[in-house]
Structure 1
């Protein structure tokens, strides 16, 4: 080896050694992370990899991690508080940390926000207040007169201002027969105190009935209260039964339906569509996937869907899919506006992390989140009693009957 080659080799070797030493210095602190710091870093990495908003609420996400690790994390409580503070900077109520107990209870319950009083709850994205999406039909909360959009200010005298969704739900759970006192704020009515007796929540998602319009047209009335695992099969049975009875048109009532399983919403859309896109999912890289309908539909009869402010999540996907595909006309009020998809991650210490990883878009690429679905015909009405639904007192239902008749869409439909 010549002198020049040796010099280059030595130089190269010394640069390599210096690089390795520098790398060693960089790596050294990472290997010395405490278990508490490792948990914070684990949460940071999951969010960094999969969170929907790549700007992380217009902040330097690496700097957020640095700040979280600056303070001493001496115990589990301090660590969990640091993680929660880090996630709060995203300003997304659905991306949240769950301690081991909360994580276990969320796994047991598909929605995570269904409680022992029968309320579906959410945090208002604008104000951060705890809000009722809708009471489950026939539940104690429903019977106590709690309505969609009611704000829950206190649970058993404890302010909900700094509670997470899961903490609020946990405070409303309890043994069957026990009472819980809620302080509710309602638009135009101020504060109301409501006492609710906890009970087991029985969910029968489908109500089906054959009605006659004023002109004598047989109309299938279907009300769906929730998208649970049985909803698609139950609705398919109901449609088949109404078809045999001679239904010539349909009204699908999704008012105060808080959603549930995404797959259930997609399957129900497919019952009505011969072809077409049902929904798109969009992550931070853009279109992630789509769900299609391949037919055949169970019926091609005209369809009107009833929606209101309590129509949320999977209900909005179904309504948006059938509206955008020209399969149904929507009547009622603009829907709730919950169009985000969360994924659940288990952390190394048995706690969990719910992270918003994507959002829904309708077949015509309308964003549902915070905007909701606007009906073709807007009709607002004061809250009505349960027994008044789909009667003369129900203005939205009456408008659906009139639309089906006025358009003469049902005349000449043979069976």
Structure 2
């Protein structure tokens, strides 16, 4: 990725996540007459009505928040829109009547960003960027492994002085990322500044970059070897990355795991299901209910990778798919949950591309944990509750290297809990098996 992955508020995060694999093909205009169709096809009203039809067909609340949704359509189509922006604004206003922040319209730029984020990949050169707080210069945080930038020797701390000849002074990370990204196989010219070497040009060929969403390491805690895994979001590649992490840590003879979901706002429902199955050999994972009352129960399928003791770290920003995974592990007694109360989002969205490249996310179902718990607006209570103080948060944010160390109170408590669990002889490790995908692929569960 060419730019840092910012962590916006939970409400706004959905604008930066999604999956192009998740889009659905929908019919334009639905049951309108042929004359109405002809009148709308070349006007902004086409997008308005396409979105209206999707909501009408799929929205989880058949009363549409006690709104006359048919009258809403008539009002939308009775207006004259001189451009798409006016139509977008009218559609957003109509969706606000549902009083559901998760059912939302995205303009093409927002939809593209959402698609790239939860797809877990994009076309670029593979560098994370930031504007240095002291120098105010665009700086490389790190190159992504095996990316064009990594292979070309780009280093953390390198300064990006120009992009295709354009000086980056005063440029934001987003602006720089837009310039660096492009079609696979095309080139971008960077002017690099490096301590001890001055400045030099570097031509890079853009490639498809898989964004790392899982980071892991072996931590020596006393006489215990602990496998620490941090999952940032449930992207389309998260399950494969999680599988590799668990398997690699097991070869390193760890005695237990800490799975860190703090700050994880969710992502693809299918990803949470696949990852749940890596830890659970049997038991229910989640139950979804649509507006017609149709219920679907999703369960483990005896494809767990390990039975080693597990502690899950959560906080108030662990939401949606994070809560599905946490609820499944807690209700089945597979893991101890440590940290703060989770966010409390129990809704599932379906994401659709619209004809002009814009997009629509629609809430289509409510979900419940295996024990039948509705976590809406309540979240999941940890087994061991420990909240960070303002001082703790300031300390960790000012020195990220302290995160997941003994100076991190939640992590430190997780180690205490895990040490008790690993005191007994670890259970045997199960063999691995490829998990099949199901129709849940394409559903978002992100606030």
Task: Tell me the TM-score normalised to structure 1 length.
Answer: 0.66
Corresponding residue for 2:96?
A: 88
SS, match of residue 243 in structure 2: helix
* Aligned-partner Cα distance in 2 for 1:396–1:260: 24
Give the C-alpha shift of residue 387 in structure 1. 1.0
- Tell me, yes or no, if structure 1 residue 387 matches structure 2 residue 401: yes
* 1:34-183 equivalence runs, <5 A: 34=40, 35=43, 37=45, 39-73=47-81, 75-110=83-118, 140=130, 173-176=174-177
Give the C-alpha shift of residue 208 in structure 1. 2.8
CA contact (8 A) 1:248 1:410 kept: no
Give the C-alpha shift of residue 299 in structure 1. 1.7
Corresponding residue for 1:234?
A: 241
Give the C-alpha shift of residue 207 in structure 1. 3.1
The 1:77–1:218 alpha-carbon spacing in structure 2 relative to 1, beyond 3 Å, is: closer
* Aligned-partner Cα distance in 1 for 2:99–2:299: 33
* Aligned-partner Cα distance in 2 for 1:261–1:99: 20
The 1:28–1:282 alpha-carbon spacing in structure 2 relative to 1, beyond 3 Å, is: closer
Paired residue total: 318
* Aligned-partner Cα distance in 2 for 1:142–1:276: 48
CA contact (8 A) 1:280 1:287 kept: no
* Aligned-partner Cα distance in 2 for 1:89–1:322: 36
The 1:255–1:202 alpha-carbon spacing in structure 2 relative to 1, beyond 3 Å, is: farther
Corresponding residue for 1:412?
A: 425
* Aligned-partner Cα distance in 2 for 1:56–1:141: 44
* Aligned-partner Cα distance in 1 for 2:313–2:133: 22
- Larger displacement relative to structure 2 (345-354 or 279-288): 345-354
- Tell me, yes or no, if structure 1 residue 330 matches structure 2 residue 344: no
What is the CA deviation profile of residues 114-134 of structure 1, one whole-angstrom value per residue up to 9, with x for unaligned ones?
Answer: 9x9xxxxxxxxxxxxxxxxxx
Corresponding residue for 1:17?
A: none
Give the C-alpha shift of residue 202 in structure 1. 8.3
Corresponding residue for 2:257?
A: 250
Q: Report the aligned-residue RMSD.
A: 3.6
Give the C-alpha shift of residue 269 in structure 1. 1.0
CA contact (8 A) 1:253 1:306 kept: yes
* Aligned-partner Cα distance in 1 for 2:132–2:92: 32
Over 6 Å off, 4+ runs: 26-29, 141-144
Task: Tell me the TM-score normalised to structure 2 length.
Answer: 0.61
Structure with the bigger RCO (C-alpha within 8 Å, sep 6+) is 2
CA contact (8 A) 2:214 2:232 kept: yes
Structure 2 portions without partners, runs of 5+:
1-31, 135-171, 180-205, 429-447
Structure 1 portions without partners, runs of 5+:
1-25, 117-137, 145-170, 179-199
Corresponding residue for 2:371?
A: 364
